[in-house]
Structure 1
């Protein structure tokens, strides 16, 4: 018994990781049991196996990289190039469908189908945050390859996600209020100039001048409300893109740095659908924000190119990138946690709460049922992809 323990302890973790060594260790342990076992000592055998099994199981946990077979390197590179083209295509198609379909009456903001499409997109984004990004952040920041102090002494993943959501709330409020004040000041300047010239602009504000005073009509209030909503939609679209882009870069780098064909093949198909669904969610927000052509093109291209660029970066750093190094784990874990907080907040607060509490959905039971089904469908399909990606 003592001899088997002494011989097993000095073995390097990397060697313990290989299945051939595990088999050898088990056979060696069995032989030692047979050699030193007292007659009819089943208790001794049981205790010895219980002591050795944790040691063998520990061999499966390693912070070292697996060696990539040279014969597979060209095959892996081929899969990565295919992944770049496929994911780029999926992202472009996904983000462009809502944007280009804007001229179709069914896709116009305010239509029932548009609300259903937004609910589906919100479900996709919600599942991305909860099912894809947040668990990965937990895995990274609770890895045994990180030091126990401080990473094992505090739930950093949840804390970072929470702080990211609070930060996005602050950014949205500050940005929206700033642009509203800016728009309001411009409107006041225009009205003052018009009043000085003695012109009445009933399409912007209905003015009734009594003893040099004036009252604002419902048309002006409606326009102000529409302007505030437009500003809010634009802030939402930009913040949502930020959250999606952060985790897309990480996904791309991880895929590009991977050296296993068996890992890349299922990821390739899953990530194509992943980008497609995310693109639909982002495209819906962009179309609702009513940007001009140039900002729309920039945002769509930025989203579509992010993951392929991440893959290209991963290919370039394959030889130096160590996914289990402390630096890589901390950087990826922190960014994933922040991205998860952003996506979850955006899905629940900016997309679902705003639409589901609107008068159009509240007063239409049939539409309410349809948007719930679309929400569950989007969340379910995106959650299903977690089986492969």
Structure 2
């Protein structure tokens, strides 16, 4: 009996049925999801830059906090859960089932990001200290608030310190008509948003590949249109609030467009290899599980540390705000997490 069950499992893993149904819609999905993804990611960026489109600040706040909830739910529901399933598949070697590798890889990703940020923060703080500036490691403005806790009182700068700071600012703005140039603070922002986008992009490519070959195409397609639009809104709301020098103002736009093309790219690749790609194979399960685990760690760290902690606990403006504003922010975040978690029922 055991031999029969083992044979059936083996056949299930080796079986590969080429999906040629809904080919027209599968191709159209490339463009439909591209529009939804780019609209979600680009709208906050372009709306904040626009001089004629006046979007009320509460709408921006909603997008920002809603996006935080989306990113956290994506990490747990859309990445970590599928990683556990993939690395627990009956189609891969039994050794993968002897240890919770998905959780271990997620934890490793979190610690790796923490160490990278810790080293970058120490280096940046030391560098800025030499020119007489304080440093906020998360791009909220130099000296805006403490990076990992409430800001303490600081003595007024002496005349000598003012001269050093003035000289440093002059050095960074020369030949640019007083405009700020690339600085450690700018680099920190770009690295932070780059880490967030890397985790989101990995996930987007994988789900695009899955959509191209999945048997339950129609349900997954509808869900992914909303999924990618919400996720794009979460990313775009963060891109929109990057405080960059004018000459680097193109970075958020390019990052939003890059996000928008990743899932369509995954779909196109999936359609191209659908005759040979078997989503149930051992190789596909291992690759998908490992990448999902790493991506989950990236988004867990980013969501909890960069978004929640710094938008709520260590944000002096939020701590001093009214109960109504705090409730609005929390409800927006929970709505994003709730809707994204609900989509996890189908995708």
Q: For the superposition of Structure 1 and Structure 2, which TM-score range results when normalised by the shorter chain? A: 0.7 to 0.9
Q: Does 1:98 align with 2:44?
A: yes
* 8 Å Cα contact 1:179/1:231 also seen in 2: no
Say which SS state the counterpart of residue 321 (structure 1) adopts: coil
Distance 1:183 1:264, change over 3 A: farther
What residue number does 2:86 align with? 140
* Structure with the greater alpha carbon radius of gyration: 1
What residue number does 1:253 align with? 209
Which string of whole-angstrom CA distances, capped at 9 and with x for unpartnered residues, describes residues 230-249 of structure 1? 55433221110000011111
Q: Does 1:353 align with 2:303?
A: no
Match of residue 105, structure 2, among 150, 153, 160: 160
Which string of whole-angstrom CA distances, capped at 9 and with x for unpartnered residues, describes residues 64-120 of structure 1? 33535xxx72x3321211211111001110001110121479769xx5554432211
Which string of whole-angstrom CA distances, capped at 9 and with x for unpartnered residues, describes residues 254-276 of structure 1? 12233x2xx11111111111111
CA positional deviation for 1:361? 1.5
CA positional deviation for 1:363? 1.7
What residue number does 2:238 align with? 285
What residue number does 1:386 align with? 344
For residues 265 and 340 of structure 1, the distance between their equivalents in structure 2, rounded to whole angstroms, comes to 26
What residue number does 2:77 align with? 131
Q: TM-score, with normalisation over the residues of structure 1?
A: 0.70
Distance 1:67 1:369, change over 3 A: same
* 8 Å Cα contact 2:242/2:252 also seen in 1: no
The count of corresponding residues between Structure 1 and Structure 2 is 304
Distance 1:275 1:158, change over 3 A: same
For residues 301 and 170 of structure 1, the distance between their equivalents in structure 2, rounded to whole angstroms, comes to 29
Distance 1:289 1:183, change over 3 A: farther
For residues 191 and 4 of structure 2, the distance between their equivalents in structure 1, rounded to whole angstroms, comes to 58
Distance 1:384 1:187, change over 3 A: same
Measured on the aligned residues, the alpha-carbon RMSD in Å equals: 3.2
* 8 Å Cα contact 2:41/2:257 also seen in 1: no
What residue number does 2:266 align with? 310
Say which SS state the counterpart of residue 387 (structure 1) adopts: coil
For residues 124 and 55 of structure 2, the distance between their equivalents in structure 1, rounded to whole angstroms, comes to 27
Q: How does 1:131-280 map to 2 (within 5 A)?
A: 131-149=77-95, 151-179=96-124, 208=159, 214-216=160-162, 230-258=186-214, 260=215, 263-280=216-233
For residues 131 and 162 of structure 2, the distance between their equivalents in structure 1, rounded to whole angstroms, comes to 16
Which string of whole-angstrom CA distances, capped at 9 and with x for unpartnered residues, describes residues 310-353 of structure 1? 11111111111121221111111000001011111111110011
For residues 335 and 264 of structure 2, the distance between their equivalents in structure 1, rounded to whole angstroms, comes to 27
Which string of whole-angstrom CA distances, capped at 9 and with x for unpartnered residues, describes residues 40-77 of structure 1? xxxxxxxxxxxxxxxxxx79x93233535xxx72x332
CA positional deviation for 1:187? 7.9
* 8 Å Cα contact 1:254/1:311 also seen in 2: yes
Distance 1:170 1:86, change over 3 A: same
Q: What runs of 5+ residues in structure 1 fail to find an aligned partner?
A: 15-57, 189-204, 209-213
CA positional deviation for 1:207? 6.1
Match of residue 366, structure 1, among 324, 336, 346: 324
Distance 1:296 1:13, change over 3 A: same
Match of residue 17, structure 2, among 67, 91, 108: 67
* 8 Å Cα contact 1:251/1:307 also seen in 2: yes
* 8 Å Cα contact 2:132/2:161 also seen in 1: no
Which structure carries more helix by proportion?
A: 1
CA positional deviation for 1:136? 0.4
CA positional deviation for 1:294? 3.1
Q: What runs of 5+ residues in structure 2 fail to find an aligned partner?
A: 134-155, 170-182
Distance 1:313 1:366, change over 3 A: same
For residues 337 and 173 of structure 1, the distance between their equivalents in structure 2, rounded to whole angstroms, comes to 22
For residues 127 and 272 of structure 2, the distance between their equivalents in structure 1, rounded to whole angstroms, comes to 45
